[in-house]
A and B are shown apart, each in its own frame.
Chain A
Amino acid sequence: MNMIEALNSAHDVMLGRDEAVVAFGEDAGYFGGVFRVTAGLQKKYGKTRVFDAPIAEGGIVGTAIGMALYGLKPVAEIQFADYIFPGFDQIFSEAGRIRYRTAGEWSVPMVIRSPYGGGIFGGQTHSQSPEAFFAHMPGIKTVIPSNPYDAKGLLIAAIEDPDPVLFFEPKRIYNGPFDGYYDRPVTPWARDPRAEVPEGHYTVPIGKAAVVREGEAVTVLAYGTMVHVALATAAVEGIDAEVIDLRTIVPLDIGTIEQSVKKTGRCVVLHEATRTAGFGAELSALVQERCFYHLEAPVVRVTGYDTPYPHSMEWDYFPGPARLGPALKAVLKD
């Protein structure tokens, strides 16, 4: 399965298992969403379980909260993560706080899914990576898969989670892995073992990172599309890097990170989002706080630039192997 099919399968499994699960969003019903993640599900489960929503992200999030308060498990799609901001207040002030402000009397078991990230020539408004805004919010979990197997298992875990989960889907790798070598032909997921996705129910735990490549020289912390960039760059440059796929940024798997950095003594943080106050700043600070006496070199961030996402110069902006390679070499120098 590719990632879209895997996510579709996660919905299918959960809609089939649990009457409380409903899925909705702009174009998510009849047509199955612009990326077709919910394709075929309305036909199978009926239009009160899977349906189209008005173009009102604040309304989508606000009504999803109401549904969760009722006892449903809504999975709401925001068509592109760039458009989540009209719903920001409902996520930040409401979803993230209701359990706390009611001393546990109410909770909001809901998932907000949204395709994010660049590499598709989406211009400024279809390419952004807003995960840091949500990582900063108390009471919200933020999950970002990097392959079809994880995508399905994490989405099922997110739907079953008792707390609100933001589930950002790296849309550049919906159909196949992408390593940042943009001029090479794209291979479909079919040839990747992580595309072997079981039909039924399984979960990948939220809050657990994966060591996707073992190495001794340097630790690369990445998530989403960037995991593939890290793997490819390490291979091409012949660097003995340990690559960690965070999978969840809140709650973060600090144990895996600490263990790896203490072993390698060097760390590069890699993400697509803009640099200033990005999630990489948090990772860099944590590594510095916890592994300082094991570090052989300063922690380095490889990120997008602090500009909106450009259309025509997308490959200049994208933190691909051309930016990661030199950074890895620099960290390894002394």
Chain B
Amino acid sequence: MTSRPERRSNRPALSLHVPEPDARPGESPDFSAIPIPAAGSAPRPPVDAAAADTHPLCYTLVRVLDQDGRAVGPWDPKLDPELLRRMLKEMVTVRVFDERMFRAQRQGKTSFYMKSLGEEAVAVAAAHALEAEDMCFPTYRQQGLLVARGYPLVAMMNQIYSNQGDPLKGRQLPIMYSDRARGFFSISGNLATQYPQAVGWAMASAIRGDSRIAAGWIGDGATAEGDFHNAVTFAGVYCAPVILNIVNNQWAISSFSGIAGAELTTFAARAIGYGIAGLRVDGNDALAVYAATRWAAERARSNLGPTLIELFTYRAEGHSTSDDPSGYRPKDAGAAWPLGDPITRLKEHLVGLGEWDDERHKALEEEAQAAVRQAQKEAEAKGTLGNGHYDDIDTLFEDVFADVPWHLAEQREQARAERKARGK
């Protein structure tokens, strides 16, 4: 043990500050310190505004839907009711899907699952504000991108189950999807790595004079990684056509966002030091997410550079199936989140427009349940991790390189022989 040096009596002892969240288990959730500006109050700068002109927007919240579900203010994207209904449907589908797969994990059909409860608008609305051929570099809570881009639910489940239909041959942890055809880049378990990759893809698109842009997503906790800063540096320096989304759901497993610096400033304000455009957005407001993404996409498409978007939301569930959030925060925190539920808010908006009602909503939920149930049936027919998972020993050695070199071929022989010896 090192001994404590003797302190000079005329100097105060130094003390270390370790941030603490507003409430811990047993206490009432307390969101009173969070300022929530009125919907419609944030100005909308022209798409070609100087980056610095957006910087006041890093300290407020771009919000479109007000308390009564009306779309107000300059950021209202004025979407067609058809598109609004489609987004609602996809958000409901994601929620139902999450619920089912969470249960499948509990039933031992897969090893792991991660829900996006309360964050469905973040991915679904962004997907519609981007073009289909734009490239997405997501993290693990943007399954809504795949749903919105029409990836089959069965294929998602096959991946989760690591079954015979798994497009990734049983190699990835559940939910770490990849779908090149729909511009959804493979998810990495190493946090933040996708962020500079998104920027590199966008730089390449610009180098080639292409018209496609890239978008990346990262969690509030992972912004502390060096790769986050690498990405924003490169994006700014080269004026890369990229949208850098920070999903601030306020929790990184059991560490609250203050541990990543949220007490000091907003995550959107990270844009300021890098001199790029920044927006802070109500992440539970599908219209605001859409409008902000659209704004940033138009900016990127016009060679006006990257935008950093903080999507302020709340992780209403545990981090994953391996996490019990009641151990570190009040039980009902998700329900108390003052920015509400993204699905309820979009639904109320549509009802207010006269484009939706409770009956249709109930039918939509049933339809989503049926679609997910049907997909699950099809997927489970191909096996689950618990029973009938992907099993082809030869493929274990494929795709390390384009061709199988001698040392892997030898190891493949060994694996085959070991199986044979075990009578398989």
A residues in contact (CB < 8 Å) with B: 19, 22, 48-49, 53-54, 56, 58-59, 61-72, 74, 86, 89-90, 93-94, 98-107, 138-139, 141, 161-163, 207, 251-252, 254
Residues of B contacting A69 in the complex (Cβ-Cβ under 8 angstroms)? 135, 185, 197, 200-201
Is A141 a contact of B401 with CB atoms below 8 Å? Answer: yes
A-chain residues with CB within 8 Å of residue B400 when the two chains form the complex: 99-100, 138-139
What is the CB-to-nearest-CB distance from B194 to chain A, in angstroms, rounded to a whole number?
Answer: 9
| A63 contacts B200, C-beta separation under 8 Å | yes
B199, closest chain A residue (CB)? A63
A252 to B188: give the CA distance in the assembly, Å: 29
With a cutoff of 8 Å between Cβ atoms, the chain A residues found around residue B4 in the complex are: none
* B191-214 interface code vs A (CB 8 A; 1 in, 0 out): 001011111111111111000001
Q: Given A93-B193, A251-B406, A103 and B169 touching (CB < 8 A)?
A: yes
19 contacts between A and B (CB under 8 A): A48-B206, A54-B230, A59-B196, A59-B234, A62-B193, A62-B197, A62-B230, A64-B200, A66-B200, A69-B135, A70-B208, A74-B200, A86-B226, A99-B400, A102-B399, A105-B167, A105-B178, A106-B185, A163-B401
**Is B168 part of the contact surface with A, judged by Cβ < 8 Å?**
yes
- The answer to whether B204 and A56 touch across the interface, beta carbons within 8 angstroms, is no
Q: How far is the CB of B208 from chain A (nearest CB, A)?
A: 7
Shortest distance between the CB of A233 and any CB in chain B (Å): 30
Would A66 and B178 count as touching, CB distance under 8 A?
Answer: no
A262 to B407 alpha-carbon distance, docked (Å): 19
Q: Does B233 contact A (CB under 8 A)?
A: yes
Interface size for B (C-beta < 8 A) is: 49
Which residues from B are CB-within-8-Å of A59? Answer: 196, 199, 227, 230-231, 233-234
* B residues at A contact (CB < 8 Å): 135, 137, 167-169, 171-172, 176, 178-180, 185-186, 188-190, 193, 195-208, 214, 226-227, 229-231, 233-234, 237, 395, 398-402, 405-407
When distances are taken between beta carbons in the complex, the residues of chain A under 8 Å from B180 are 102, 105-106
Contact of A103 with B234 at beta-carbon distance under 8 Å, contacts A58-B227, A63-B196, A67-B201 already known? no
Which single residue of chain A is at the shortest CB-CB distance from B226? A58
> Which residues of chain B are within 8 angstroms of A102 by Cβ–Cβ distance?
168, 178, 180, 186, 399
Instruction: Identify the interface centre among B180, B204, B206, B226: most chain A CB within 10 Å of its CB.
Output: B204
CA of A11 to CA of B233 in the docked complex: distance in angstroms? 26
Find out whether the CB atom of B186 lies under 8 angstroms from the CB atom of A106: yes
Chain B residues with CB under 8 A of A54: 230, 233-234, 237
Cβ–Cβ contact B233 & A93, under 8 A: no
Inter-chain contacts of B190 with A (CB < 8 A): 89, 93-94
Please, which residues of chain B bring their CB within 8 A of the CB of A94? 188, 190, 193, 197
Docked complex Cα distance between A56 and B237 (Å): 12
Q: Which residue of B lies closest to A69 (CB)?
A: B201
Which residues of chain B have C-beta atoms less than 8 A from A56's C-beta?
229-230, 233-234
Q: Are A72 and B399 in contact (CB under 8 A)?
A: no
B168 CB contacts on chain A under 8 angstroms: 101-103
Look across to chain B and name the residue whose beta carbon is closest to the beta carbon of A57.
B230
Determine how close the nearest CB of chain A comes to the CB of B420; give it in whole angstroms: 22
CA of A59 to CA of B135, assembled, Å: 19
B208: A residues at CB distance < 8 A: 19, 70, 72
Cβ of B196 and Cβ of A90 under 8 Å apart? yes
A85 to B197, CA, bound (A): 17
